[in-house]
Structure 1
């Protein structure tokens, strides 16, 4: 029985190779869930930070020395044998070649083609998030003009994977319908994810298979919409907590820096983002006043990636 116990803190390393493949290890005989596959890591020892525990565990298990890791998501899971709080860090730089030092089998797997099974239950949702691009682009057809925006969208989708949020408040219905159909066709051809802002009719959410909720719409919901992808805009801890409680797929948090649309309004800054957005149960994109060059700072602060509007189309 684990009811009533405080969760055990565990540092988990999502070790990502340059080609995007991720490392999994198989649990040894004699352990709970023996033979199941998991991300490497282990329990925090007394006085350790997550970063310190992760460095120790990956050296002991894999013989590597971490040169850089970034916080990502924190998930709690109750197993029959334990209640754990899993601190997932992405590890993309290390010294040494990962090798089994404890006799466990190791496999590199691409996130879009996981072949090892079964996965530990707590790892399943996280594997899905590894398929989530690290850039979210917000449409700007009202500013650029529809044809110019669609050309910019083609260029963006050809350059790198991204999620497109179609958000054109105030656009005439017929014009938006035509824009939606063109944008959806381009996303489908390239395997890109499309979500429609909740300012637009729900029929478009369903046609796209995803919705991006405005903060006010998020706070009114009692349950997650029945769609493949659901995200939300958040500005504070309460809204972000609501997005986590509804088990959304991602959230945007900001503004991080001052924006042209809100001159004179300071952003929360990277320290504020890390304080509010890093220890969350879902991936969080940094939003507001950012450019592509801000992606490393966003990752260091615990963001999944960056969400851009104007800068996305430059």
Structure 2
């Protein structure tokens, strides 16, 4: 069965809202919501196909777009490759040129709409930022909380509370305060035993590679409305993350780092190959910062994760 190549768009308005369209009842997966786009013709460049489809479907002319995520998905009756781009600028007023209903929704509200199964990673990618802050090790509690507060005030939207050398009761106390600091402003990801999941209902969870190996066969330990991520370093761990049903991963190390000087870096080329085989958002980690974000986007990553590069001076 030939895989159908489709170009799709996460179209953002100036207010940050995302445009989605409802599929006609007569279509494959009819009645569900989707991100606008259509088939890539043989020999056609993906960006050209996207521009053509969006003009035909919505009457808009794309002026700025970048790759967001590539997803391979197998339905019982067809196989698709979704080549998804984020469109950040366009001219014209979008309208359903083919009679399809359109709606502008906030990133957070995307989770309330029903999409085809292949679109779920796009929903995740559209809701996630391009930067993922991981807290530094060895800080005292006041410094840790002050830094999180300052980072969130500075626009960071995704924070992992990582403190590997902090003993459990202290970590849990800091986590309670961090949940409060992030509430309504940023998504907090905690680390620790899955037995703690019920104690922090507002937080997402970031599984270690050891937890992936131990628990992936049991499936997803969290309900769908809570974020689940995992640390991955190779194709085997990415496959386990897929099995566990995570929403996104970090892939590391891309370059040599101070925190893990002995770890062999993957490099950009190998990272690119690993991303191509994985249909979920990927944050690249290890010696990277805001300056590498566009390069990460170019190879299909969601963005970059980092400790020092994103941690504010406190």
Q: TM-score range by the shorter chain?
A: 0.7 to 0.9
Q: Residue 181 of structure 2 aligns with which residue?
A: 186
Q: How far apart in 1 are the matches of 2:81 and 2:189?
A: 30
User: Which stretches of structure 1, 4 residues or longer, exceed 6 Å deviation after superposition?
Assistant: none
Structure 1 position 128, deviation (Å): 4.3
Q: Which residue of 2 aligns with 1:148?
A: 143
The answer to whether structure 1 residue 217 and structure 2 residue 211 are counterparts is yes
Shift of the 280–201 alpha-carbon distance from structure 1 to 2, 3 Å rule, reads: closer
Counterpart position of 1:87: 83
Q: What is the match of residue 107 of structure 2?
A: 111
Contact 1:64 1:98 in 2 (8 A): no
> How far is the alpha carbon of 1:283 from its aligned partner?
0.8
Pairing partner for 1:74 from 60, 71, 80: 71
Assess, with a 3 A threshold, how the Cα gap between structure 1 residues 122 and 262 changes in structure 2: closer, same or farther: closer
1:208 alignment counterpart: 200
1:251 to 1:128, Cα distance in 2 relative to 1, 3 A: closer
Q: Does 1:98 align with 2:94?
A: yes
Q: Which 5+ residue runs of structure 1 have no aligned equivalent? A: none
Q: What whole-Å deviation, never above 9, does each CA across 1:119-170 have from its counterpart, x for those lacking one? A: 4454355324422333322122x43322111101111122224222222223
| 2:172 paired residue number | 177
Q: What SS does the corresponding residue of 1:108 show, helix, strand or coil?
A: strand
Counterpart of 2:138 in 1: which secondary structure? helix
Q: TM-score, normalised by structure 2?
A: 0.83
Aligned 1:232-271 pairs, distance under 5 A:
232-263=230-261, 267-271=265-269
2:18 to 22, 26, 29: 22
Q: 1:36 to 1:258 in 2, by over 3 A?
A: same
**Would the aligned equivalents of 1:109 and 1:115 in 2 still touch at CA under 8 Å?**
no
Q: CA RMSD in A?
A: 2.9
TM-aligned CA distance change 1:284 to 1:117, over 3 Å: closer
When residues 264 and 119 of structure 1 are mapped into structure 2, their CA distance, relative to the original with a 3 A threshold, is closer
Task: For residue 23 of structure 1, report the CA deviation from its aligned partner.
Answer: 1.4
Matched, 1:283 2:281: yes
